[in-house]
Amino acid sequence: MLNHSATPAGAPVAPAGPFLHHATPAPGLHVAFTGVDAGNLAFHVTGGPGDGNGPAAVAAARRDLEARMGVAPGSTEYLTQVHSARVVTATGHGWADRPGAPEEADAVVSRTGTEPLAIMVADCLPVAFASRPVGARELSGPTAVAHAGRRGLLDGVLEATVHRLREAGAGDAPGDIEAWVGPGICGRCYEVPEEMLRDGAARVPATASRTSWGTPALDLPAGATAVLQGLGVAVHRVDACTLEDERLFSHRREPGRGRFAGLVWRTPERTGEGS
Ligand SMILES: [Zn+2]
């Protein structure tokens, strides 16, 4: 019998279309991470001329993605990400429905778990969350996504997100919140100055790392996993390194080329009662 150290609540389905990883941990509940095939999803990444990164291309990529997600075009909530620990509540207004730049924050919580949520990354970690309400068996509670780069992770964006999920009704028993730590730069690739390693190790010891060539590094996936497990969150890891895997955007490998997304959303699948 196979003995897996990770125990995903929903079996990942085969990668198809825009998703590098897509899980359905409960009926109608989806967690996914896109790759380069979904295109650049960030309006603030403009790239060079002729590279398909203009605003029209980004809007088209977002709408194409929403068609594959099975949600209304323009309905996904994106943030203006600023490497903070600030968490906001979903507004019910998608990106196409909000004039101007979206709110500055690095995590967003859907209290009802119904709004489609997106976080954009290219080396920083995307983390998606789902939860069980107190006493419930299904992951039918609040959802969230968070942007955990070095600064956000060390400044507590994941703690703040978990706190906000519990305020919104997620249970606080171990495993009532589940988190999917998506692709980011790995601990063998994320080279930093010695001083930055010391600072990271002092604040989140599990981030301390060395590159494969022996220099100071930070391991953000290990740090995020340790922080989340310390809060009683069940963690699922999608272990892909953005610097090494060209199916993903990497700011270090190709600055300005694009951002992929971590996503959580629901579709109106029924579980059998009624019709
Ligand atoms: Zn790597």
Q: What is the pLDDT of residues 28-72, one digit of tens each?
A: 999 999 999 999 999 998 765 556 678 999 999 999 999 999 999
Q: What is the CATH number of the domain that holds 174?
A: 3.60.140.10
- Domain annotation covers residue 11: no
All residue ranges of the chain with pLDDT < 70 are 1-16, 47-52, 270-275
Query: What is the per-residue pLDDT for 3?
Result: 36
Centre of ligand 1 from the C-alpha of residue 221, in Å: 11
The answer to whether the CB of 15 falls within 8 A of the CB of 68 is: no
- Domain annotation covers residue 149: yes
- Domain annotation covers residue 1: no
Centre of ligand 1 from the C-alpha of residue 200, in Å: 18
DSSP 96: G
- Domain annotation covers residue 22: no
Query: What is the per-residue pLDDT for 202?
Result: 98
Residue 16 structure tokens: 């198809």
Centre of ligand 1 from the C-alpha of residue 223, in Å: 15
Residue 77 structure tokens: 């909530």
- Block residue for tokens 């600055």: 255
Count of domains in the chain? 1
Query: What is the per-residue pLDDT for 17?
Result: 79
- Domain annotation covers residue 57: yes
Q: What are phi and psi of 254, to 5 degrees?
A: -145, 80
The answer to whether the CB of 41 falls within 8 A of the CB of 32 is: no
The domain in which residue 105 lies consists of 29-266
The answer to whether the CB of 152 falls within 8 A of the CB of 121 is: no
Kindly tell me the burial class for residue 274, based on how many C-beta atoms sit within 10 Å of its own C-beta (0-12, 13-18, 19 or more).
exposed
Centre of ligand 1 from the C-alpha of residue 182, in Å: 13
Amino acid symbol at 261: A
Give the C-alpha distances (Å, rounded to integers) separating 30 from 92, 120, 126, 196, 273: 18, 17, 15, 35, 20
Percentage helix, strand, coil, to 5, in the chain? 25, 25, 50
- CA–CA separation, 190 and 39 (whole Å): 24
- CA–CA separation, 209 and 219 (whole Å): 6
Query: What is the per-residue pLDDT for 53?
Result: 78
Centre of ligand 1 from the C-alpha of residue 189, in Å: 4
Residue 9 structure tokens: 């609540």
Long-range contacts of 209-212 (CB under 8 A, 24+ apart): 212/188
Shortest CA distance to 159 belongs to which of 129, 139, 188, 122? Answer: 129
The protein residues having their C-beta less than 5 angstroms from ligand 1 (an ion) are 186, 189, 241, 243-244
Centre of ligand 1 from the C-alpha of residue 259, in Å: 17
pTM for the predicted model, two decimal places: 0.91
Query: What is the per-residue pLDDT for 197?
Result: 98
**Residue 34 belongs to what H/E stretch?**
strand 29-34
- CA–CA separation, 144 and 113 (whole Å): 8
Centre of ligand 1 from the C-alpha of residue 140, in Å: 34
